[in-house]
């Protein structure tokens, strides 16, 4: 009996949040609420139908080389900050710091990228030490797992012709669950700076989507309860003042103050996702230059129709 109760408790916990969400069941407290992650929201923005295939229908996808590289290098990056010893390095010469960081760099098929990262970290550490900011070198949170519940108001949500945004109103307010893993969070000048690590090449057109990703992280941090914050090494009531991203393949790193408009864009996208559930409409957005690389190209009606036209 005890084992059965434990099993039911586990199942119940798993059912608190879901992608297979039915908005008509919202008033039933026994039914799970909608779960949204940075990746699921990004997939919805990219193509509503891809979101439907990936998250609602849970169709399998083959792991691409880019996905494998991302997993390996993200693990290396997490391990680096778990391994690096500031006390050991603070009195080393520049050459010794270089040798130390290179020595803890994994040797594998991505070693050339890892060496670029090692050089970047050496320079960043030396700069922090020179500026007497060595305490800001290490992240306060390394691969932090965050959860929060937020309420999305019914609106109205105003359109923006320049962004191809339409105006709409939801049927009601909704409480949803947001969740995500933040690569790194640094503390600088009294504020938190979430930092995203990307393993693909940098392109200038990615700036808008990166700001939106970082705004989602800001939303997570600002709405997480104190227990979640403390578990991830953060203090309550400390603001997110900046955010940034690092693309080692292109040797590109960037940081900026938070952007209010990016947060507005995130809230609009979440509301639009809820609206898609309300209407049970997840239309495709076909564009041959990008859709040809989609895992669901072969089963997407719009892709097949366009291919045969």
Q: pLDDT at position 244, please?
A: 98
292 φ/ψ angles, rounded to the nearest 5 degrees:
-65, -20
Q: pLDDT at position 5, please?
A: 46
Q: Are residues 38 and 118 in the same domain?
A: no
The per-residue pLDDT for range 95-147, each reduced to its tens digit, is 999 999 999 999 999 999 999 999 999 999 999 999 999 999 999 999 999 99
Q: pLDDT at position 6, please?
A: 39
Q: Which domain holds residue 107?
A: 85-136
* Mean per-residue pLDDT, 215-219: 98
**If you search the block for the tokens 């230059």, which residue do you land on?**
289
Residue 72, CA distances (Å) to 110, 114, 135 in order:
9, 11, 28
202 pLDDT higher than 50: yes
Q: pLDDT at position 300, please?
A: 72
Q: Are residues 263 and 243 in the same domain?
A: yes
Q: What does the alpha-carbon distance between residue 25 and residue 31 come to, in Å, rounded to a whole number?
A: 7
The per-residue pLDDT for range 249-304, each reduced to its tens digit, is 999 999 999 999 999 999 999 999 999 999 999 988 766 666 767 777 667 776 66
H-helix or E-strand containing 47?
none
Q: Are residues 157 and 37 in the same domain?
A: yes
Residue 216, CA distances (Å) to 106, 144, 213, 253, 264 in order:
31, 14, 5, 19, 10
The sign of the torsion formed by the CA atoms of 247, 181, 139, 222 equals positive
CB 265 within 8 A of CB 210: no
The per-residue pLDDT for range 45-78, each reduced to its tens digit, is 999 999 999 999 999 887 788 889 999 999 999 9
**Residues of the chain by 3-state class (helix, strand, coil), percent to 5:** 50, 20, 30
Q: Is 304 a domain residue?
A: no
Which of the listed residues 76, 109, 136 is the one where a domain comes to its end? 136
* Mean per-residue pLDDT, 165-182: 95
Q: Are residues 257 and 196 in the same domain?
A: yes
- Chain Cα centroid distance, residue 277: 22
Q: Is 70 a domain residue?
A: no
Q: What does the alpha-carbon distance between residue 14 and residue 305 come to, in Å, rounded to a whole number?
A: 39
- Count of domains for the chain: 2
Q: Are residues 182 and 34 in the same domain?
A: yes
Q: Is 287 a domain residue?
A: no
The per-residue pLDDT for range 20-40, each reduced to its tens digit, is 999 999 999 889 999 999 999
pTM over 0.75: yes
- DSSP per-residue string spanning 187-229: EETTEEEEEEE--S---GGGHHHHHHHHHHHHHHHHHS-HHHH
């Amino acid at each position: 009996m005890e084992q059965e109760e434990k099993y039911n408790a586990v199942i119940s916990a798993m059912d608190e949040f879901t992608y297979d969400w039915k908005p008509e069941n919202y008033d039933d407290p026994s039914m799970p609420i909608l779960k949204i992650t940075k990746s699921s929201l990004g997939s919805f923005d990219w193509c509503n139908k891809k979101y439907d295939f990936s998250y609602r229908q849970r169709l399998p996808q083959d792991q691409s080389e880019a996905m494998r590289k991302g997993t390996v290098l993200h693990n290396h990056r997490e391990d680096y900050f778990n391994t690096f010893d500031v006390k050991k390095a603070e009195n080393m010469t520049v050459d010794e710091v270089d040798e130390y960081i290179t020595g803890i760099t994994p040797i594998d098929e991505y070693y050339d990228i890892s060496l670029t990262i090692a050089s970047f970290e050496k320079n960043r550490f030396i700069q922090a030490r020179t500026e007497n900011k060595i305490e800001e070198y290490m992240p306060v949170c390394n691969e932090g797992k965050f959860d929060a519940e937020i309420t999305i108001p019914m609106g109205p949500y105003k359109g923006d012709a320049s962004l191809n945004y339409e105006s709409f109103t939801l049927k009601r307010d909704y409480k949803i669950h947001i969740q995500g893993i933040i690569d790194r969070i640094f503390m600088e000048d009294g504020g938190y700076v979430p930092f995203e690590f990307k393993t693909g090449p940098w392109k200038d057109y990615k700036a808008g989507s990166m700001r939106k990703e970082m705004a989602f992280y800001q939303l997570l941090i600002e709405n997480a309860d104190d227990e979640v914050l403390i578990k991830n090494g953060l203090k309550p009531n400390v603001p997110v003042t900046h955010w940034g991203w690092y693309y080692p393949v292109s040797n590109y790193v960037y940081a900026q103050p938070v952007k209010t408009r990016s947060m507005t864009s995130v809230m609009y996208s979440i509301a639009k996702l809820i609206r898609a559930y309300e209407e049970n409409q997840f239309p495709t957005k076909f564009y041959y230059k990008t859709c040809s690389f989609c895992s669901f190209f072969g089963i997407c009606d719009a892709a097949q129709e366009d291919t045969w036209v």
